[in-house]
């Protein structure tokens, strides 16, 4: 037997051992408190596999009965993760919406980003059990799904802790999910210390009170301005009537109530929108605000709102202008669109930060395929990733500096090696 064949044989034995341990022995060990030891020497490993290969064969037979190839199993695992990720994002946005001050929001975002990095690293370690085999994506996505579901539970506990309703966190001996840090506990404390009450229609004129709510996250420091958004019932009624354009987000005055201007967006936020979010950052003198409408992957619209002597003087969609900076790079790459509505989207770490009344600092990444990991990329995906660092001068009403980069994404080394094999 030559060295290459011998190496492949040993690798196969190890893959079978890892597969059986992950799918059969590990679940049993969690029930019976039994910790299996997988042999590491070749001779003992072969004995271990010989004994347990029947179990692996049964797993393969089940997959064949259901007509699932490994690629299909990978696709199922990926779909499960996307569902868990969608629930996580919805819960995360709910927690973020409860935090009114910028520092609490910043702390939550930093904690979430650290958790995502930790989760992805943990999932990558799980995928290594397949040693570059075709099962690697399934192992990775299953690990990510489990950790994502645990993180969702943590965030829901923050909401329950704040409102005093819902189930309390259940004591468990299981290890905490990645980045279950003191910062997470601090965010929960911040949420509890926020002003009581939910978004409401109190103070709105009758024609708006039935269908709109005042977003507490957008109220100016002097309580004179805010953004209102439609209730879920109003959004559903507009769609059923085939008139979605009736749904709008309005910039309003509160003392007294007056509609100032609708926000010029194709996708206004509405109550309990999945993946949605609505927040605002204000200057201390109430003259400038940065109103953000969040989407599934990151900020969708970011409006710079300027007042002079208490009256609206100018409003601009800074996210759209940052998008236009990236557009030439995206087109040059000849990448595939994200979908029929968006050529690309800003992702979660995209930052649009108001600095006083003089400028908006932008540090944002955008992608055409944020749902694809590098290991899953195929040449036909033509997935693009871009980045923009820019400063918008508020008095000048233009970018005073900008730096744009971007290129088509490449498959990771492990995936390339898998393809060659």
Q: What ranges do the domains of the chain cover?
A: 3-143, 198-273, 275-421
Which residue matches tokens 């004995």?
47
pLDDT digits 0-9 by tens, 227-286: 999 998 998 888 888 888 889 999 999 988 999 999 999 999 998 887 788 999 999 999
Q: Are 233 and 295 in contact (CB under 8 A)?
A: no
Distance separating alpha carbons of residues 311 and 244, to the nearest angstrom:
29
Distance separating alpha carbons of residues 106 and 15, to the nearest angstrom:
43
Task: Kindly state the tokens that stand for 385.
Answer: 């990733």
- pLDDT higher than 70, residue 125: yes
Distance separating alpha carbons of residues 329 and 407, to the nearest angstrom:
8
Which residue matches tokens 């769609």?
239
227: phi then psi, degrees, rounded to nearest 5: -120, 135
Q: Give, for 228, the enclosing helix (H) or strand (E).
A: strand 225-230
The pLDDT > 70 percentage for the chain reads: 71
pLDDT digits 0-9 by tens, 326-351: 999 999 999 999 999 999 999 988 99
Task: Kindly state the tokens that stand for 115.
Answer: 């958790």
Whole-prediction pTM:
0.60
Query: Regarding predicted confidence, which is higher, 407 or 196?
Result: 407
Which residue matches tokens 């009581």?
196
Which strand ranges, in their side-by-side order, compose the sheet holding 311-317? 277-282, 288-294, 299-308, 311-317
Task: Kindly state the tokens that stand for 127.
Answer: 């995928």
pLDDT digits 0-9 by tens, 357-396: 999 999 999 999 998 888 888 889 999 999 999 999 999 9
Which residue matches tokens 């290594």?
128
Q: Are 213 and 231 in contact (CB under 8 A)?
A: yes
Q: Give, for 32, the enclosing helix (H) or strand (E).
A: helix 26-32
């Amino acid at each position: 037997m030559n060295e290459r064949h011998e190496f492949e044989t040993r690798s196969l034995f190890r893959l079978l051992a890892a597969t059986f341990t992950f799918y059969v022995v590990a679940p049993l060990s969690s029930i019976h408190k039994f910790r299996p030891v997988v042999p590491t020497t070749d001779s003992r490993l072969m004995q271990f596999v010989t004994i347990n290969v029947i179990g692996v064969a049964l797993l393969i037979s089940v997959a064949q009965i259901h007509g699932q190839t490994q690629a299909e199993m990978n696709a199922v695992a990926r779909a499960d993760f996307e569902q868990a990720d969608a629930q996580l994002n919805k819960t995360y946005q709910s927690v973020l919406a409860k935090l009114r001050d910028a520092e609490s929001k910043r702390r939550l975002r930093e904690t979430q980003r650290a958790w995502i990095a930790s989760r992805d690293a943990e999932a990558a370690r799980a995928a290594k059990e397949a040693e570059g085999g075709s099962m690697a994506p399934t192992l990775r996505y299953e690990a990510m799904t489990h950790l994502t579901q645990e993180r969702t539970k943590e965030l829901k506990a923050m909401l329950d802790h704040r409102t005093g309703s819902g189930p309390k966190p259940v004591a468990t001996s299981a290890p905490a999910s990645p980045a279950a840090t003191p910062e997470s506990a601090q965010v929960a404390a911040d949420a509890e210390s926020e002003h009581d009450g939910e978004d409401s229609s109190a103070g709105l004129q009758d024609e708006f009170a039935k269908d709109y709510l005042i977003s507490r996250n957008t109220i100016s420091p002097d309580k004179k301005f805010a953004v209102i958004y439609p209730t879920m019932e109003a959004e559903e009624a507009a769609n059923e009537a085939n008139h979605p354009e009736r749904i709008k987000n309005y910039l309003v005055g509160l003392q007294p109530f007056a509609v100032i201007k609708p926000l010029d967006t194709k996708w206004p936020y509405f109550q309990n929108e999945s993946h949605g979010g609505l927040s605002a950052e204000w200057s201390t003198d109430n003259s400038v605000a940065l109103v953000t409408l969040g989407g599934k992957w990151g900020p969708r619209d970011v409006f710079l709102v300027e007042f002079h002597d208490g009256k609206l003087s100018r409003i601009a969609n800074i996210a759209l202008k940052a998008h236009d900076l990236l557009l030439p790079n995206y087109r040059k790459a000849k990448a595939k669109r994200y979908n029929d509505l968006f050529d690309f989207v800003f992702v979660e770490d995209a930052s649009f930060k108001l600095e006083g009344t003089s400028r908006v600092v932008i540090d944002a990444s955008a992608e055409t395929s944020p749902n694809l990991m590098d290991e899953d990329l195929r040449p036909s995906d033509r997935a693009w990733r871009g980045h923009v660092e820019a400063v918008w001068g508020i008095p000048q009403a233009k970018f005073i500096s900008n730096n744009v980069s971007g290129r088509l994404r490449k498959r990771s080394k492990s995936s390339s090696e898998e393809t060659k094999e």
